[in-house]
Amino acid sequence: MDVANLALIYLLGVETAFTPCFLPVLPVFINFVAGFGRERAFLTSVLFVTGSTASLMLYSLLAAYGSSFVRPFLQAGLAPLTVGVGLLLVSLGVVLLTPERRIFSMLPSVQPRFRKISMLNALVLGFTFTLVAAPCAATFLVAAFSLVWLGSMNSQSEAILTALVYAGGVNTPFLLLGLLTGKASEKLARSPVVRHNETISGFIMILLGALTVVSVENYDLYSQYVAQALAPYLALLSLLSGIFYARAALRLGAKINSLPPMLLGTGILLLGISDTAPLFGFLPHVEIAGAVLSLASRILIAAGGLMLAKPVLLSVLPLAPLTSTTLVLDSLMLFSWIAGPGRRDRDHLFAALFLMIHLIMDAVPVAVELPPVAILLLQPVSYLSLLVPAMKLSRVLTGLRLLEEV
């Protein structure tokens, strides 16, 4: 692995320390440092960093150990796997540049508490640091340990070097906090590196992923191969997002006795199910069932969106089944979403990406020439965009329940 990749991995580690998932550990760490005074502050920081590094190396060993099971099945060689990891990093970076990054910060994290401040507890806090924050720091840790896993395919020394560089980046801010005064620590916490860490990390992941892809000879051919192989399985993301959105929309519609959210939720769920139909092509009549679900989902989404936009526009709906192409149905579905829930709510407007990717994928064989790699990079962020309004609908439902209890 060259110096540029290692530098980017180190920067990714630095940004990891300032994610919303890791921030709850900072007050505890500063409390430890303050409890020992300036003389022993650095020693406390070193013990914390030692525990944190041990925790990260444990993850790395598990990732490297897992590669030993995969290596015998790599009949096409290591090149497609390297390109796949690179494309994964690019996709994760794009996610961090969109409102979807809020999804991971909403996952629970635990703030460790100790009754007594001691050197041993500083070591324990460092070890539990990564374990505590792992659930909602998924994007950062998946990116880092994917590279560790990939490095272990080449050699164990490369995997260890990657893990140590990443751990060094994660722990650098804590060493600095142990050395700086209280005011300097506050300035560091308000610095642009902290305030814009997800945006910076997104660009770092994109650049790191691009460098990983272009490091492979004939990467353009392997990229097409990986994109075509993974495309059908990305439909599972569509189904997952559809289930979460449908659950929130149907429950909210039933709660307020409103038809449009129920139509939208049902339509989104059917669309997610129809997207996964190619995975079950071995079953009889799956293609026909998928086409029926696809048509029904588009009509339901268009109906729900137009009811929210303007009831008079429902007169357009009966023309949808009479159209000769799927593109018109996709366009009507996208228009109704933007004019209806998208006009009322910014998160729903962002989720129009979910419907836009369906329009793009239906247009590719007909009128648009788009490489499979471009679609592969667009699919994850588009499919997961539904989770953003789904979280908002869940919060609205929770608020309504609280009002009823008052």
pLDDT at position 322 is 45
pLDDT at 117: 56
312 pLDDT band (50/70/90 cuts)?
very low
Residue 182 has pLDDT above 70, yes or no: no
The average pLDDT across 182-202 equals 67
Residue 349 has pLDDT above 70, yes or no: yes
User: pLDDT tens-digit profile of 207-218?
Assistant: 888 888 888 888
Residue 185 has pLDDT above 80, yes or no: no
How far separated are the first and last CA of the chain, in Å rounded? 60
Neighbours of 353 (CB within 10 A): 21
Per-residue confidence at 92, pLDDT binned at 50, 70, 90? confident
pLDDT at 245: 95
pLDDT band at 320 (very low <50, low <70, confident <90, very high): very low
Q: What is the pTM of this model?
A: 0.75
User: Model confidence over 221-238: pLDDT tens digits?
Assistant: 888 888 878 878 888 999
Left, alpha or beta for 108 (phi > 0: left; psi -120 to 50: alpha)? beta
310 or 16, higher pLDDT: 16
CA angle 366, 369, 375 (to 5 degrees): 105
Q: Specify whether the CB–CB gap between 177 and 29 falls below 8 A.
A: yes
- Residue 56 binned pLDDT confidence (cut-offs 50, 70, 90): confident
- pLDDT, tens digit, 9 for 90 and up, residues 380-400: 899 999 999 999 998 888 888
Q: Quick check: 386 and 354 in contact, CB under 8 A?
A: yes
Mean pLDDT, rounded, for 276-305: 88
Provide the pLDDT for residue 332: 86
Lowest mean pLDDT among 166-170, 186-190, 207-211: 186-190
Q: Is the pLDDT of residue 103 over 90?
A: no
E strands, 214-302, in order: none
Question: How far apart, in whole angstroms, are the C-alpha atoms of residue 357 and residue 376?
Answer: 10
Nearest 5°: the CA angle 166, 172, 176 is 175
Q: With a cut of 50, say whether residue 160 has pLDDT above it.
A: yes
Contact predicate 262/254, CB 8 Å = yes
The answer on pLDDT for 108 being more than 80 is no
pLDDT at 135: 58
Q: How confident is the model at residue 251 (pLDDT cuts 50, 70, 90)?
A: very high
The reported pLDDT for the residue numbered 367 is 46
Question: Is residue 244 over pLDDT 60?
Answer: yes
Q: What's the pLDDT at 242? A: 94
Compare 375 and 166 and report the one with higher pLDDT. 166
The whole-number pLDDT of residue 301 equals 92
pLDDT at 3: 81
Q: Give the whole-number percent of the chain exceeding pLDDT 70.
A: 73
pLDDT of amino acid 319 = 47
Rounded Cα distance, 247 and 142, in Å: 27
